[in-house]
Structure 1
Amino acid sequence: MLILTSLLAACAPAPAQPSAPAPAVSATHEQALARVEAQRVERPGWTVPGTPPELNRSVTVRYRSPGRATPRAIAVLMPGFLGGAGSLDRLARQIVVLDPGVQVWAVDRRANLLEPQQTLQAAAGRTSAELQRLVREGIPPRAANELVYMSAWGLDVTLRDWRTAVLEARRLTPNVYLGGHSLGGVLTGLYAAYDFDGTPGYRDVRGLMMFDGVPGGTSGLPSVDERGYLEGFNTALGRSPGLNDLEQGRASPFVDVPVFSPLLASRAAAGALLAARDPNGISPGGLVPYPATNLAAALVQLDRHYAPLDAFAVTTGQAVGAQESLSLPAIVINGWNGKGLSVRSIEGPQAGVFAVGWQPDPQAPTDALDFVRRFWLPTGDYLEWYFPSRLILDITATPLSTRGSPLENRLKVWHTAQVNLPLLGVAAEDGITSEASYQTYAAQTRTRLETHTLEGYAHLDVVAARSDRLARWVVAFLR
């Protein structure tokens, strides 16, 4: 998708420098996280004509304190762009440990059902040789022309699948809260404003939580009118397909670009499993074009020192024994400024060094080994391999309100001005939002806003950090 880089770059504020070391996390705390129960649950989702029945599903991974069946409150959380339920695993566990009366339900969007996770699960139980093969070759992706039905998996379907879980949660407790990270924060605001056949979404829940993601944060994108929505439109990077292209199979129904595709996602998952098992072993190749350890190969494209896009950055450490240079992609995206010039590109090992290694930073917000260990879990992957192109199109075309627009009846975001719920807005200092972003959004609603900033955090640190600071704000909000 040509709009992919623009969508992410337009969200990013000016970068800031890390200002706070990560608090120490005890082994006892980690053991408590491990004791939290997690169960993957599938329910019938919204029925979409043309979609195979087994894919019309609403999927959540449900976290609860052991033996605690009846919750006081439930937080139903949506992952971010290209993210799966697994990306919320650490935060969900932290919340439950702090308040055993709370359950967290992490959403896996229906496209995650297209992933052959059984292949990775089988490989994880075998010798490292099978994982090494998957890192090199990946899992063959499904053909785009067999998935044209994904052209219907846009905003309406995503929100209605989510609502299936919300309404089930309401049968267990009236205290149901909606939230999400990154794009999940955007979708949280859109759910609240959405018209579900006469019922505004905000009436379903008691409060909203947005973690480094907020509606209106992509205002740097071109305005999309009805013709552009149907026929495609121009961006700074070229032509982006419209709905007609997707429905007629002239464009990929899922994100398939050089920096992200189902094939790359499968290799990344296998690489993370391999890094968790043997961090200092030599990577079999496939993730980076030079000799590197498994841990370095898994992290070098995501760590903030090397990631050109703020939306794909985490803070875990730094490469060692690497020959580095300026990052051309970072300069193209961010310009000749602090961010563009601070990001580095690795050319290969330094002279006399066999392979690039990775040095975890104990003061970094996120623990390197914990990050790769949670990247693939039996309950849910960190990534959404087949992210629907239709959802990107719909998000791009959706302002804070569609009332009075030509797309009013396609994208029913009608009730923004009436949203009157408490809102917790949390920004990462080096992420893609700021407290001002939430204030701008809240001014268009009737929300009662509480904001915080996670100093020194990159965008992905928000839900992966070793500290439970965000979880403490969430628990206080849920009370």
Structure 2
Amino acid sequence: MIGGVALAVSGTGAGSALAAGRTPGATGQGAVGPEPYVPVKVGAGGGPAGTDRVRVLKVGPNTATSVLVLVPGMFGAANDFRLLARDLVAAVPGLQVWAPDRREENLADRSGFAGPDPLAYYLDGHYRTQDPAASPFAAHWGLPLALADLRAVVRSAGRGGRRVVLGGHSWGATTAMAYAAWDFDGCPGYRDLAGLVAIDGGVLGAFDGTGDPVHDSPEEIRERLAAIDAGAVFDLTLSGVGLGSRPESTQIWYQLAGHYALHDPDGPSVLQPRLPDALRLPYTVTNAGQLGFFVDAGFGWPNAITVHSGHLADSGDVRGWVDAGITPIGRVAAAYAGPVPTVWEWYWPARLSVDLDVTDAYTDSALARSLGLRLHHAHRLDVPLYAFGTSQAKGTIEEAARRVVAGSRIPYAAYETDTGMNHLDPLFAAPAHNTLTRTLAEFLTGPGAR
């Protein structure tokens, strides 16, 4: 590690973060304080009533003098960061962590999780869905709007002179890097910040090692924009999992799996009989086992949506889950179940995917300008950078971060890689086995702060 961004403040110890709240602490050291999920007003975006706001999950003491704002990645939502936030707040004196949802979270109907039968509400089609054909407004929900919303969050976090470090996971890291280089009516985004954190994502080829690099040739962009104009306003990437063809189908299945694994982990899976034949195991599993089947790397799911949790029991009339990895299934269940906030965003705008792909070049190109991307200040960045990579990108997270540093005024940086982790492990792994928690805490409390 080279340097760090010191956020520790004398007299504001970790004990203040472990106040008299009632939410169980992730570290086993007591309880954390209240974790509000509060609205932040943002500008008009042309969507339905109630969508001109974002909500922020806040973990840690209100007396904190520094705030780490973490942006979820593609299809990610605020609860991605609750467990990580608790662990960081316990480790870093004077820190609060904010996890914002994007405005499209307002389109999701989570009400069924408060009822007696979430499975029937969602799988039998009783929930309120957002029809892409009735959502032309989403064609304009790209990166400029997302960053305008994020700036409202960052400025709120910085009130009272608090230091703000901005980061994110996967495409959330790309979003954070875009914010730093963005021109907000003549004001560079990095001037709002004391540091940057890129967790398994970024720019300048960060995703090249994944086998699915960005698609940003002018020809590809023209084709994608034409599809959006024709009505394909929501990204359907997750439909490839095989759990349904609607934009929200896969996310609903995963949240249901988390719900039942949390509330009845050892009961026979209520989802298994409803699964498509191709995804149904040939033996009965518990609710925890069903969630494990969905999320554990041992079943062959893509690295981008898996963790190292364990395995199903070898025998039994109903096979349960055996924790044998760095990410216990109970932690995954607690995060996935939500219900509000949750881990999965239902309606990811296809235009945001286009803009983030083009952002990878991290320069004020003609293509970027044609999309309204104001990436004017990448070469002037002068705040510390922390970059963390997992096995997903095979080293290109660090390589890309080094390119960012070489092309800017960043004074010092920390680069960490744990190839024993998959893409989602850093968000949910047990603290004792989470390299991200330990090294990010070191960065946030390290020497060399301005």
TM-score normalised by L of structure 2: 0.82
Give the whole-Å Cα distance in 1 for the aligned partners of 2:31 and 2:346: 26
CA gap of 1:225–1:267, structure 2 versus 1, over 3 A, is closer
Corresponding residue to 1:446 among 390, 395, 409: 409
Give the whole-Å Cα distance in 1 for the aligned partners of 2:426 and 2:435: 10
* One-letter amino acid of the structure 2 residue matched with residue 229 of structure 1: I
8 Å CA contact 1:428–1:458 kept in 2: the answer is yes
Give the whole-Å Cα distance in 2 for the aligned partners of 1:131 and 1:104: 30
Q: State the match for 2:189 in structure 1.
A: 201
Corresponding residue to 2:290 among 276, 297, 302: 297
Give the whole-Å Cα distance in 1 for the aligned partners of 2:355 and 2:305: 21
Q: State the match for 2:21 in structure 1.
A: none
* 1:4-25 Cα deviation digits (max 9, x unpaired): xxxxxxxxxxxxxxxxxxxxxx
Give the whole-Å Cα distance in 2 for the aligned partners of 1:451 and 1:359: 33
CA gap of 1:389–1:420, structure 2 versus 1, over 3 A, is same
Q: State the match for 2:50 in structure 1.
A: 54
Residue correspondence of structure 1 range 331-346 to structure 2 within 5 A: none
Corresponding residue to 1:111 among 104, 121, 124: 104
Give the whole-Å Cα distance in 2 for the aligned partners of 1:132 and 1:426: 37
Corresponding residue to 1:229 among 221, 225, 238: 221
Q: Identify which range, 374-383 or 384-393, moves more after superposition.
A: 374-383
Give the whole-Å Cα distance in 2 for the aligned partners of 1:461 and 1:366: 6
CA gap of 1:245–1:368, structure 2 versus 1, over 3 A, is same
Query: What is the aligned length?
Result: 400
* 1:193-243 Cα deviation digits (max 9, x unpaired): 11112111111101001111121324564763445423x1xxxxxxxxx22
Q: State the match for 1:474 in structure 2.
A: 440
Report whether the alignment pairs 1:253 with 2:222.
Answer: no
Report whether the alignment pairs 1:150 with 2:138.
Answer: yes
The Cα shift of 1:477 comes to: 2.4
Corresponding residue to 2:87 among 94, 102, 124: 94
Give the whole-Å Cα distance in 2 for the aligned partners of 1:297 and 1:406: 44
Give the whole-Å Cα distance in 2 for the aligned partners of 1:161 and 1:28: 30
Query: Partner of 1:141: helix, strand, or coil?
Result: coil
Report whether the alignment pairs 1:413 with 2:379.
Answer: no
8 Å CA contact 2:112–2:121 kept in 1: the answer is no
Q: State the match for 1:263 in structure 2.
A: 249
Report whether the alignment pairs 1:44 with 2:38.
Answer: no
8 Å CA contact 1:33–1:97 kept in 2: the answer is no
Give the whole-Å Cα distance in 1 for the aligned partners of 2:148 and 2:295: 32
Report whether the alignment pairs 1:397 with 2:358.
Answer: yes
Give the whole-Å Cα distance in 1 for the aligned partners of 2:309 and 2:393: 15
8 Å CA contact 1:74–1:173 kept in 2: the answer is no
8 Å CA contact 1:135–1:268 kept in 2: the answer is no
The Cα shift of 1:354 comes to: 4.6
Q: State the match for 1:184 in structure 2.
A: 172
Give the whole-Å Cα distance in 1 for the aligned partners of 2:56 and 2:102: 8
Give the whole-Å Cα distance in 1 for the aligned partners of 2:30 and 2:332: 14
Query: Partner of 1:210: helix, strand, or coil?
Result: strand
Query: Partner of 1:75: helix, strand, or coil?
Result: strand
Give the whole-Å Cα distance in 1 for the aligned partners of 2:327 and 2:192: 34
- Higher fraction of strand: 1
Percent identical residues: 27
Query: Partner of 1:37: helix, strand, or coil?
Result: coil
Query: Partner of 1:96: helix, strand, or coil?
Result: helix
CA gap of 1:268–1:103, structure 2 versus 1, over 3 A, is same
8 Å CA contact 2:235–2:353 kept in 1: the answer is no
Give the whole-Å Cα distance in 1 for the aligned partners of 2:105 and 2:228: 19
Query: Partner of 2:299: helix, strand, or coil?
Result: coil
The Cα shift of 1:180 comes to: 0.8
Give the whole-Å Cα distance in 2 for the aligned partners of 1:387 and 1:415: 27
The Cα shift of 1:142 comes to: 2.1
CA gap of 1:463–1:478, structure 2 versus 1, over 3 A, is same
Corresponding residue to 1:282 among 251, 268, 271: 268
8 Å CA contact 2:206–2:393 kept in 1: the answer is no
The Cα shift of 1:379 comes to: 4.0
Unpaired runs of 5+ residues, structure 2, are: 1-23, 446-450
* One-letter amino acid of the structure 1 residue matched with residue 42 of structure 2: G
Query: Partner of 2:295: helix, strand, or coil?
Result: coil
Q: State the match for 2:328 in structure 1.
A: 367
8 Å CA contact 1:316–1:368 kept in 2: the answer is yes
Residue correspondence of structure 1 range 161-180 to structure 2 within 5 A: 161-180=149-168
8 Å CA contact 2:382–2:409 kept in 1: the answer is yes
The Cα shift of 1:31 comes to: 4.3
Residue correspondence of structure 1 range 63-102 to structure 2 within 5 A: 63-65=59-61, 69-102=62-95
Q: State the match for 2:120 in structure 1.
A: 133
* One-letter amino acid of the structure 2 residue matched with residue 243 of structure 1: L
CA gap of 1:103–1:246, structure 2 versus 1, over 3 A, is same
Q: State the match for 2:198 in structure 1.
A: 210
TM-score normalised by L of structure 1: 0.77
CA gap of 1:372–1:59, structure 2 versus 1, over 3 A, is same
* 1:389-421 Cα deviation digits (max 9, x unpaired): 111111122333342423325211122111121
* One-letter amino acid of the structure 2 residue matched with residue 103 of structure 1: Q
Q: State the match for 1:16 in structure 2.
A: none
Give the whole-Å Cα distance in 2 for the aligned partners of 1:358 and 1:134: 26
The Cα shift of 1:157 comes to: 1.1
* One-letter amino acid of the structure 1 residue matched with residue 398 of structure 2: E
* One-letter amino acid of the structure 2 residue matched with residue 147 of structure 1: S
8 Å CA contact 1:83–1:384 kept in 2: the answer is yes
The Cα shift of 1:36 comes to: 3.1
8 Å CA contact 2:262–2:337 kept in 1: the answer is no
The Cα shift of 1:185 comes to: 1.3
